[in-house]
Structure 1
Amino acid sequence: MLRVEPRCRVIIDNDWAGDPDGLIALAHHALSPANRIIAVTGSLTNPMFGPPAGQALAGSALAAELLQVLAVPAPVHAGPDSPFTGRPRDSAAARAIVAAANADGDLPAVLVCAGPLTNVADALLADPGIAGRLTLAWVGGAAADADEYNYFTDPEAAGFVLGNPDLAVWQFPLETYRQLVVSLAELEHRLKQAGDAGAWLWERFDTLQVPDVVKFGPTWCLGDSAPLLVTGLDDVTSSYETTGTAPSRRLYKQLDSRLVVEDFFARLALNNRA
């Protein structure tokens, strides 16, 4: 293949024990030569996935296992299982984010969060100076008044992070990230064709435990993969509104979902053949 030059350093934060589309996004980042992963952190999950105690650690173990399967091993640092308190607390995830943000590098740093902003808030509280050293690409929030999962899992953290005047934020809200959809049939078929990594990922979907009130339809949203457009790919075929000048504030409106989905399945297939 033609050589792809790295374009950014990436810190990836998610609630890995929740919706497995986060693990799809992690695999995509790990297989993308245009970004360089410098830290992976795991956050709390919404109680809808069961009692939160131990979930951040369990999810981090899942993320580490996936990276091992992909032959891209990297440590995953777990955060707390409770929401942001506004008070300093010791957190392996927050320490990892601070260290990665403060590390010297020849590429810009992007903190990709596709879950609650708990670990990001703890990191900014521990070291406010990191706000000027990275860009936050967040999958969450909603342009309309909607009960959006990533925001309402920890609204205090969201308010603290988004209210930071020194932090550049590129936001992929509910109305936008829902554009990244595949059918369950396509997801099962293409993951099962992609070797050990694909089979591992499909098992996470096939064994997902959710309350009985949750009913699955014929499609699945891969919204956590939206930030690949600003890390591992390119947003030239997507669109956003600029809501601030300094620092940069973007609200993404339209996504090139074909680019994201097809690149993921192609990279997973290529990794299987390697």
Structure 2
Amino acid sequence: MEHGGRLRLAEQCRVVVDNDWAGDPDGLVALAHHLLSPTNRVVAVTSSFLNPVFGPLGSTAERGSALARELVDLVGGPSRPPVYTGAEGPFDGTSTSAASAAIVAEARRDDDLPLFLVCAGPLTNVAAALQEAPDITGRLTLVWVGGARAAGAAEYNRDTDPAAAELVLARPELAIRQFPLETYRRCAYSVAELERDLAGSGRVGRWLWTRFLELPLPDWIRLGGVWPLGDSPPVLVTALDDESSTWTEAAGGTRRVYTDVDTRLLFGDMLARLRLHESRQARGGGGTGRDG
């Protein structure tokens, strides 16, 4: 059915999006995709800290919050999700933050739409929320970009806060949709395509491309011709559909580990959302910030 020249799409879920926004800008690309998608309702954005290999701890979660707020404001719309800052260091078993409190509050809120907690960074804020309020475990589904299928493989998100990952993954009653290292690496994007596709996709796209240009890379990182957009696959679970991706199941079907993702669907939709948003803003018809 058409409504005002567009297909009327139904909301599928509520989403809290958690990430270390001050780090790799692929998280901000994924956040823009979530914010622009009419089929998932982003109800909160939470920020986590960066691994110390990128500099001393102290304010990286807060810097990430500032970037996330800037993007939320740029996308615009009347229902802009609030942004909450998480802990500035690893989970210690007792720490709480505005981010973990926001996760608890949203999980306890009654709503007909299911809640997905998307985390594409360390599980610090997730662990703190579950430690503070064990009753929320059955009220949400964690969608995590992290971990690895290969035993002993180094993986950034898990290894940034291994204590948090251990606590979260040890809860068998928690429903999890996991995109491990071997799967999220499939979301390879050439740097040339990234420049063309983001910089050429309106104000939001240009803002995202600028984050790549301004990211302070340590001297030990040698940038080649590829920059993976590994934080994007959860959009397939929340806003699109995972039927064309593949996974294995465990824990009686409550846990999925994705082995392949439909990158054509994922990135085709991302670019279309950016460009539709820009064109509707230019015509003065993009007031919602989310294009149906």
Is TM more than 0.5 here? Answer: yes
Q: Whole-Å Cα distance in 2 between the matches of residues 255 and 83 of structure 1?
A: 30
1:48, 1:210 within 8 Å by CA — same for their partners in 2? no
Secondary structure of residue in 2 paired with 1:110: strand
Shift of residue 190 of structure 1?
Answer: 1.4
Do the aligned residues in 1 keep the contact of 2:96 with 2:129 (CA within 8 Å)? Answer: no
The aligned amino acid for 1:209 is P
Note if contact 1:78-1:93 (Cα within 8 Å) is conserved in structure 2. Answer: yes
Deviation digits for residues 77-129 of structure 1 (CA, Å, limit 9, x no counterpart): 00111100112x33100000000111111111100000000000000001001
Cα distance between partner residues in 1 of 2:142 and 2:245:
18
Amino acid of the residue matched to residue 89 of structure 2?
Answer: S
What is the match of residue 219 of structure 2?
212
Partner AA of 1:210 in structure 2: L
1:270 to 272, 276, 281: 276
C-alpha distance in 2, partners of 1:45/1:130? 26
Tell me if 1:31 matches 2:36.
Answer: yes
My pick for the range that moved more, 42-51 or 258-267, is 42-51
Percent identical residues: 55
**Cα offset, 1:182, TM superposition:** 1.1
Indicate the residue corresponding to 1:115 in structure 2. 121
Task: Determine whether 1:192 maps to 2:199.
Answer: yes
- Letter paired with 1:75: P
Structure 1: which amino acid aligns with 2:66?
A
Rounded Cα–Cα distance in structure 1 between residues aligned with 2:213 and 2:74: 18
What's the counterpart of residue 290 of structure 2?
none
Equivalent position of 2:185 in the other structure: 178
Which whole-Å CA distance do the structure 1 matches of 2:267 and 2:157 have between them?
22
The code of the aligned residue for 1:268 comes to L
User: What corresponds to 1:85 in structure 2?
Assistant: 92
The normalised TM-score by structure 1 is: 0.97
- The answer for the alignment partner of 1:229 in structure 2 is 236
Q: What does residue 22 of structure 2 align with?
A: 17
Corresponding residue pairs, total = 272
The answer to whether structure 1 residue 252 and structure 2 residue 275 are counterparts is no
How many angstroms does 1:220 deviate by? 1.1
- Secondary structure at 1:179 match in 2: coil
2:60 counterpart of 1:55 = yes
The separation in 1 between residues aligned to 2:197 and 2:217, in whole angstroms, is 24
Matched, 1:124 2:130: yes
State the one-letter code of the partner of 1:131. Answer: T
What amino acid does structure 1 have at the position aligned with 2:55? G
In structure 1, the gaps of 5 or more residues are none
Q: Distance in 2 between matches of 1:190 and 1:239?
A: 27
Q: How far apart are the structure 1 equivalents of 2:89 and 2:217?
A: 20
User: Would you say 1:202 and 2:209 are equivalent positions?
Assistant: yes
Q: Matched residues in 2 for 1:9 and 1:244: separation?
A: 24
SS in 1 for 2:9: coil
Q: Would you identify which runs of 4 or more consecutive aligned residues in structure 1 move more than 4 Å?
A: none
Aligned equivalents of 1:113, 1:126: Cα separation in 2:
18
Partner-residue secondary structure (3-state), 2:248: strand
Aligned-pair RMSD on alpha carbons?
1.0
Please report how far the alpha carbon of residue 52 of structure 1 lies from its aligned counterpart in structure 2 after TM superposition: 2.0
Q: Deviations over 1:174-198 (max 9, x none)?
A: 0001111111111111111122111
Distance 1:25 1:192 in 2: 16
Query: Partner letter of residue 261 of structure 1?
Result: F
Shift of 1:64: 0.7
- Offset, 1:74: 2.5
Give the structure-2-normalised TM-score: 0.91
